Amino acid sequence: MIINIDKPIGWSSFDVVKKVKNITKHKKVGHAGTLDPFASGVLIIGTDSDTKKLTGITNADKAYEAQLELGKTTNTLDTEGEIIHMKAIPEFDSGKIKSVLNKFLGKQKQKPPMYSAKKHKGVRLYKLARKNIEVERKDIEISIHNIELVDFTKNVIRFIVECSKGTYVRVLGKDIAKKLDTVGYLSALKRTKVGDYLISDSLSIDGFQDKWKSIHH
């Protein structure tokens, strides 16, 4: 079974896997493409023999709605971390933001953040980051297919992005802020699409639980 779940904010991807395991009593449950706890949106869960399909789904393109807070940044590049740096925000208009966003279109190299599940010599980077250890990370080749400004205020930019697997939108946010001559972190992130799976078709955890009970009562 493949389930398209709208992951709630504050849950880790593994929390969702555990919950689905608990609801369905299926022994084998996995997910495609980790979504950070602070983020919400499409998380694809596979159970039993369908867990084999998860690798293909993980490799699919993704789409996100992101909110970038300017003028300060955190060690995690999202709301989970502590503010480590502040910088004045220059004035800009939509034309300036759009020209900055357009610079990110196409293939490029991106360095994974220290607060990520990537491994260094078998240890997950975030475990090292929590001990204030920074290590060299290899750049990953990513591709941004589409990036558009939704709206903005003096210190918040909302944008949508369609990108290849392995893209860290938190790093993209940091890099956008840098090109605007300030610093920033993501104050909200919602995944709206994974391959052919859309947020409009997602079930909440409760919604899935109710549906499961109605079929298997």
Q: Given the residues 6, 15, 36, 50, select the one marked as catalytic.
A: 36
Q: For 126-170, how does the pLDDT look when each residue is reduced to its tens digit (9 = 90+)? A: 999 999 999 999 999 999 999 999 999 999 999 999 999 999 999
Among 183, 141, 146, 139, which residue's Cα sits nearest to residue 161? 146
Tokens of 124: 């997950």
| Domains in the chain: ranges and CATH | 2-59+196-215 (3.30.2350.10), 62-194 (3.30.2350.10)
91-116 pLDDT tens trace: 999 999 999 999 999 999 999 999 99
Nearest residue to 146 via CA among 172, 178, 120? 172
Q: Is 61 a catalytic residue?
A: no
